[in-house]
């Protein structure tokens, strides 16, 4: 029998979102929205796990990654259309923050938590390595090359260059999904563990479809509440004297909470393969789905779009990918590797606050 909180929490959180949109996020209501956001994240992770249990790996992790990214791309697009020139760097900041949060923060936390609980953990190098290679190329095309091209100034692409990057990003993501779900699905399936509760009787098709609907509601609510809370976050950031880029990091972190939580829970259950599927798949989807949508909107509505990172961002991105290649190169992890990733993530957060 389905627990009442699994549907009641998304319903209450959605109601809070509607009230906040209609009445405005007053301080007491903002506090309630923050609680509702956390509840929606917990509900989203629960329903994603139900779906994953029904359809199996790696389809279950793919559902959560794609759902979050589609909603995130919609949020970016709506803010770009409303903000105009002020939102020219929003896509860059969001994608960069998502890559750093996932590759340094989520991966580091999963490896550290898994190492503390199980000493060593293993995963398939074939799948993680292919995903990391695609992510490095997509990140370089999106965030690095705009600084060095000469057709347009200021970290931007010309229309032809932007179209090329959009097509290649979408193509790489689609090929990765094909490899993950069809051609080499075994590269992404966790090793069997009879003691793991995931091997209990799968839920019925009706229960899985109900969880899918509640997952979508929960994710929409997470993104909606993050957007509602963004003025409060901006005010807090301004009061602290921090750069505006911190707002993008906070919002990206809120949107990625369901995936981060699900990945960490999987690592603690000694299912690091599931954690890697979630982390790398989310980062790839963040670029492969967002860039084509934003690029088409930018070309169609003549919206300004700045993609190139500053030198500090380039260095942190390069170090993150170098360390990730070392970490994912053996197929076995322990807590030291997680600590290294988390130090990089801490440096990313600290230098965002103190540039």
Three-state SS letters, 101-145 = HHHHHHHHHHHHHHHHHHCCEECCHHHHHHHHHHHHHHHHHHHHH
Confidence check: pLDDT of 145 > 50:
yes
Q: What confidence score (pLDDT) does residue 219 get?
A: 79
On whether residue 17 sits in a domain, the answer given is no
Residue 332 has phi, psi (to 5 degrees) of -135, 140
Task: Tell me which residue range forms the domain holding 83.
Answer: 57-193+215-353
Q: What confidence score (pLDDT) does residue 255 get?
A: 73
Mean local confidence (pLDDT), 204-216 = 84
Confidence check: pLDDT of 318 > 90:
yes
- The count of domains in the chain is 1
Q: Out of 5-19, 194-208, 291-305, 332-346, give the one with best mean pLDDT.
A: 332-346
Q: What confidence score (pLDDT) does residue 195 get?
A: 42
CA 45 to chain centroid, in Å, comes to: 13
Q: Is 194 exposed, middle or buried (0-12, 13-18, 19+ CB in 10 A)?
A: exposed
On whether residue 25 sits in a domain, the answer given is no
On whether residue 42 sits in a domain, the answer given is no
Distance (Å, whole) CA 37 – CA 44: 10
- Short-list 32, 46, 30, 50, CA closest to 230: 30
CATH number at residue 334: 1.20.1420.30
On whether residue 205 sits in a domain, the answer given is no
On whether residue 4 sits in a domain, the answer given is no
Q: Out of 226-235, 270-279, 331-340, give the one with best mean pLDDT.
A: 331-340
Mean local confidence (pLDDT), 181-197 = 69
On whether residue 172 sits in a domain, the answer given is yes
41 or 299, greater pLDDT: 299
E strand map for 123-239:
none
On whether residue 315 sits in a domain, the answer given is yes
On whether residue 13 sits in a domain, the answer given is no
Distance (Å, whole) CA 56 – CA 63: 11
268 or 253, greater pLDDT: 268
Q: What confidence score (pLDDT) does residue 154 get?
A: 85
Confidence check: pLDDT of 2 > 70:
no
343 or 203, greater pLDDT: 343
Mean local confidence (pLDDT), 298-313 = 90
Mean local confidence (pLDDT), 265-287 = 89
* Token representation of residue 329: 């190169």
Confidence check: pLDDT of 225 > 60:
yes
Q: What confidence score (pLDDT) does residue 167 get?
A: 95
Q: What is the pLDDT of the chain when averaged over all its residues?
A: 84
Confidence check: pLDDT of 334 > 70:
yes
Confidence check: pLDDT of 197 > 70:
no
């Amino acid at each position: 029998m389905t627990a009442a909180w699994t549907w009641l929490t998304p319903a209450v959180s959605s109601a809070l979102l509607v009230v906040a949109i209609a009445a405005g996020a007053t301080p007491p209501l903002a506090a309630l929205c923050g609680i509702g956001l956390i509840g929606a994240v917990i509900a989203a992770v629960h329903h994603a796990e139900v779906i994953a249990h029904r359809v199996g790996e790696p389809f279950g992790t793919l559902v959560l990654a794609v759902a979050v990214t589609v909603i995130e791309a919609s949020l970016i697009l709506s803010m770009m259309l409303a903000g105009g020139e002020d939102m020219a760097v929003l896509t860059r900041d969001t994608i960069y923050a998502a890559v750093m949060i996932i590759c340094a923060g989520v991966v580091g936390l999963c490896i550290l938590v898994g190492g503390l609980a199980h000493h060593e953990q293993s995963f398939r190098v074939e799948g993680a390595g292919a995903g990391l290679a695609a992510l490095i190329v997509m990140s370089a095309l999106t965030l690095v090359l705009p600084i060095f091209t000469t057709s347009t100034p200021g970290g931007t692409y010309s229309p032809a260059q932007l179209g090329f990057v959009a097509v290649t990003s979408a193509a790489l993501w689609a090929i990765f999904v094909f490899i993950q779900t069809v051609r080499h699905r075994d590269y992404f399936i966790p090793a069997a563990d009879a003691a793991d509760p995931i091997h209990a009787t799968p839920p019925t098709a009706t229960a899985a479809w109900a969880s899918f609907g509640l997952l979508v509601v929960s994710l929409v609510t997470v993104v909606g509440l993050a957007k509602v809370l963004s003025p409060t976050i901006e005010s807090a950031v301004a009061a602290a004297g921090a750069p505006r880029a911190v707002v993008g990091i906070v919002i990206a972190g809120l949107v990625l909470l369901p995936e981060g939580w699900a990945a960490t829970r999987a690592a603690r259950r000694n299912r690091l393969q599931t954690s890697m599927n979630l982390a790398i798949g989310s980062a790839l989807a963040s670029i492969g789905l967002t860039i084509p949508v934003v690029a088409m909107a930018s070309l169609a509505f003549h919206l300004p779009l700045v993609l190139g990172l500053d030198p500090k961002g380039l260095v942190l991105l390069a170090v993150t990918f170098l360390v990730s290649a070392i970490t994912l190169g053996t197929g076995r992890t322990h807590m030291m590797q997680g600590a290294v990733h988390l130090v990089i993530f801490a440096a990313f957060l600290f230098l965002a606050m103190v540039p």
